[in-house]
Structure 1
Amino acid sequence: MFPGVGWILWQERAALPQDMVLECDLLGGDIDTFTLNFSRSGAPVVAQYYNFLRLGFEGYRAVRQTCRDVAVYLAGRIAEIPALEVVSDGARLPVPAVRVRPGHEPLTVRDISERLRLHGWQVPTYPLPPDLEHVEVMRLVVRNGFSQDTASLLADHLHQEVAHLQSRQSASANA
């Protein structure tokens, strides 16, 4: 459960999308690579391997399931906020994604993220991929150690800050 560490294997080279392969001039020769950053320390890989050995399959699965359970809980709490729409509930990957529900503009996920920083939260915002790039989402990563109590506190702060932003918007609209 180290960020940026994951594994994908392709049985046949033809199955790997060619636009994901980078050509690198490395040590005087061209080499194809499929990696976002090949000049990183191997420490996270070793640490992940250690966790596999220490926890075993069932232990590792339990840790990941707990992350998914907390993510689903968090997404459920966020779904209670009328101005927000849960795009991904964290059931598959423990990364709920949330957008502003259409009709609740000028509220933006960027404004919400900025307000959450007042409470110490760092919640990134992203546009979706091509053909949906006009939609921006907040991505909330639930990793090992992010408890349901912590998720509840984040959800409370989200409720509070969305209400704050909406009251500011309605006050300026009435002025």
Structure 2
Amino acid sequence: GHYYDIAGLDALIGKLRAQDPAKFGTLAMHVDAASGGLIAPFLYPGTKWDFLLPSVTSISVSGHKYGFVYPGIGWNIWRSKGVVHPDMIFHLSYLGTDQTNMSLNFSRPSANVVASYYQFLRLGRAGFTLASHNMQQVALHLAKGLQDSGAFRVINEPRHTVPMVVFSLLPYSDGKPRAYTEFELSDQLRGEGGWSV
């Protein structure tokens, strides 16, 4: 759930390009923002991780993680058409004209695309910002509850990550390990606190 220092990596790429343009002149960066791409702009708006950085040429984002859409929607976004390798573009003759396609499958349902577009229009920046802050507060509340139970150790700090809680079981006070399956743990969290994990 932590963010990489994309701005720091961009600065390093800039130094490498300056030191040896022949070797590193075309060095570029793809940002895999699958989880954080729809959180970082709203929880951490000052964080530089996108096309504002010159080395970033492409970004991938999953709309189904924090975009409020069912699984199966994601985007690859390129800085410009010039950075897309020609082998990634398929030319198809469709109804007598040349059509370009970059998807892995030509025919896919469009419901998730429409749902994503709807969510962007409905929520806007203000709605995504509010939802992101609400999800972070829920993660902080869950982390505190787990920590306070004495049975768990919270590994991450949800205040500085995407809204998620990473935790592990602590041993009993006598040192014996707690032995729960994930299903038993899920049932216990649901029964004690109403959490669906």
One fold, TM greater than 0.5? no
TM-score (norm 2): 0.40
Q: Considering only CA atoms, is the larger Rg found in Structure 1 or Structure 2?
A: 2
Higher RCO structure (Cα 8 Å, ≥6 apart): 1
TM-score (norm 1): 0.45
